[in-house]
Amino acid sequence: MKLSGKTVIVTGAAAGMGEAIAKKFAAEGAKVVATDINKELLDPVVQSITEAGGEAVGLVSNIGNQEDIDQMVHEAIERYGSLDVLVNNAGIMDNFVPVGDLTDELWDRIIQINLTGPFKAARAAIKVMEKQENGGVIINNASIGGLFGVRGGGAYVSSKHGLLGLTKNIAATYGIHGKIRANAIAPGGVATNIQSTITEPHELGSKAIGSIGGGTAPIGQPEEIAEVALFLASDASSFVNGAIITADGGWTAG
Ligand SMILES: NC(=O)c1ccc[n+]([C@@H]2O[C@H](COP(=O)([O-])OP(=O)(O)OC[C@H]3O[C@@H](n4cnc5c(N)ncnc54)[C@H](O)[C@@H]3O)[C@@H](O)[C@H]2O)c1
């Protein structure tokens, strides 16, 4: 098994890619701290892992809250004795609202969950990983919205660009001068619940996304992203550091 003995935190583990990553990692021998704000969806995920013979604990935890972040790292150490992999996966969308119509409230919420939360979780994880003999791995689930201008609204795209910068800074600092690798995944369209959160798509924002073929993008499955995350978490990627792995079925290749 590729993650035997490793302790992993997966944020946003109750659904979509986080759920697929938590299940895949547990099946590969990891001890999983699965966190999410949605207890109703999180409980069955943890139950399904343990019923399959895996090791996992569920924690209701908001990535926008410092106390919750401290608690999730504490849980990994107290329960399993180490923190080997942090998967910053939880993220939210912004109804494609472009900058001219972006409220302070929406901007702050998207940046808090998609960028500030992952930064704070990485900061807490690094403090632990630095002291461990085998260091650790940080994986940030970004988006092709972190590489291109109109795969979301102004706040979403800015948050994901920021997340890639955070990834590279950690990689170039702690990967070269320490034992912590950091990489990012940039998924394209993936079949998850996140689309249902686009309740009031902004007209201009939608037009901009439509103009680059937003509606015709290939759609991947969460398990296909979990495979990429597994590679980045495992020792198979020992020389991969600071990489952004696009997983979009070729949407942005053309
Ligand atoms: N689905 C896509 O097409 C797509 C494409 C590119 C990138 N992404 C990114 O992938 C990641 C996972 O998205 P998904 O599509 O699996 O979404 P999803 O909505 O299916 O799952 C996200 C999970 O995160 C949880 N969550 C939301 N806010 C949280 C918070 N404050 N604290 C903790 N958990 C929280 C939700 O409850 C949910 O269970 C996100 O960062 C998203 O931006 C998604």
pLDDT digits (tens, 9 = 90+) for 46-56: 999 999 999 99
Ligand 1 centroid – CA 28 distance (Å) = 22
Ligand 1 centroid – CA 145 distance (Å) = 14
- Evaluate: CB of 12 within 6 angstroms of ligand 1: yes
- Evaluate: CB of 18 within 6 angstroms of ligand 1: yes
- Evaluate: CB of 189 within 6 angstroms of ligand 1: yes
CA distance 82 to 129: 8
Domains along the chain with CATH numbers: 7-247 (3.40.50.720)
Contact (Cβ atoms closer than 8 angstroms) between residue 169 and residue 176: no
CA distance 196 to 51: 29
Bridge-based pairing of strands 55-60 and 85-88 is unpaired
Atom of ligand 1 nearest to the CA of 41: 39
Torsion (CA) 87, 28, 137, 160 in degrees, nearest 10: -30
Backbone angles phi, psi at 8, to 5 degrees: -130, 140
Relative orientation angle of helices 16-27 and 222-233, to the nearest 10 degrees: 50
Contact (Cβ atoms closer than 8 angstroms) between residue 188 and residue 247: yes
Which residue is catalytic, options 25, 96, 156, 174?
Answer: 156
CA distance 25 to 227: 9
pLDDT given for residue 214 in this prediction: 82
CA distance 190 to 224: 9
- Evaluate: CB of 208 within 6 angstroms of ligand 1: no
In terms of Cα–Cα distance, which of 152, 80, 82 is closest to 114? 152
> Rounded to whole angstroms, what are the CA distances from 167 to 61, 110, 121, 240?
22, 18, 12, 12
pLDDT given for residue 131 in this prediction: 96
Percent of the chain with pLDDT over 70: 100
The question of whether 80 is a catalytic residue gets the answer: no
CA distance 17 to 177: 31
Largest distance between two CA atoms of the chain = 52
CB atoms under 10 Å from CB of 100, counted, come to 9
Ligand 1 centroid – CA 92 distance (Å) = 6
Q: Which of 36, 160, 228 has most ligand 1 atoms within 8 Å of its beta carbon, as the pocket-test mutant?
A: 36
pLDDT given for residue 213 in this prediction: 84
Atom of ligand 1 nearest to the CA of 222: 16
Check whether 87 has a pLDDT greater than 90: yes
Q: Which of 9, 11, 17, 115 has most ligand 1 atoms within 8 Å of its beta carbon, as the pocket-test mutant?
A: 17
Quick check: helix, strand or coil at residue 118?
A: helix
For the stretch 175-220, pLDDT in tens is 988 899 999 999 999 999 998 999 999 999 999 999 988 888 999 9
Torsion (CA) 6, 237, 119, 130 in degrees, nearest 10: 60
Mean pLDDT of the chain: 97
Q: Which of 167, 192, 245 has most ligand 1 atoms within 8 Å of its beta carbon, as the pocket-test mutant?
A: 192
For the stretch 17-57, pLDDT in tens is 999 999 999 999 999 999 999 999 999 999 999 999 999 99
CB atoms under 10 Å from CB of 67, counted, come to 9
Ligand 1 centroid – CA 176 distance (Å) = 30
